[in-house]
Amino acid sequence: MAKVPAAAVAASGLIGGYGVARWTKKRQLGGAVLAIAGAAAAQQWQRAAGGRAAGALTAGYVAAFAGSHPLAKKVGAWPAVFGVAGAVALASWVVADRRA
């Protein structure tokens, strides 16, 4: 079975977490999606690039989630989510995925 890149897992967690929270109107479910995908991506980052890189990418993932909120006030919710998901995916690819 082909391995899903951590970049895709992380971006999907941000996009999917927001989508689930919005469509179900249950923020906790969106948070669960966000957390599960983040943990899966962090595990892949650890294996591919080591602990320091995994820690930095995980911090970036959390910062992207937090940063999407004020960004959404300027550009809209979906553009903000797609923007931060793209940034996290790019960082993941540069730091970990292209090595794997």
CA 66 to chain centre: 11
The structure's pTM equals: 0.94
Q: Cα–Cα distance between 17 and 70 in angstroms, integer?
A: 17
Convert the pLDDT of each residue in 51-78 to its tens digit: 999 999 999 999 999 999 999 999 999 9
pLDDT band, residue 3 (cuts 50/70/90):
confident
Handedness of CA 63, 48, 43, 31 (dihedral sign): positive
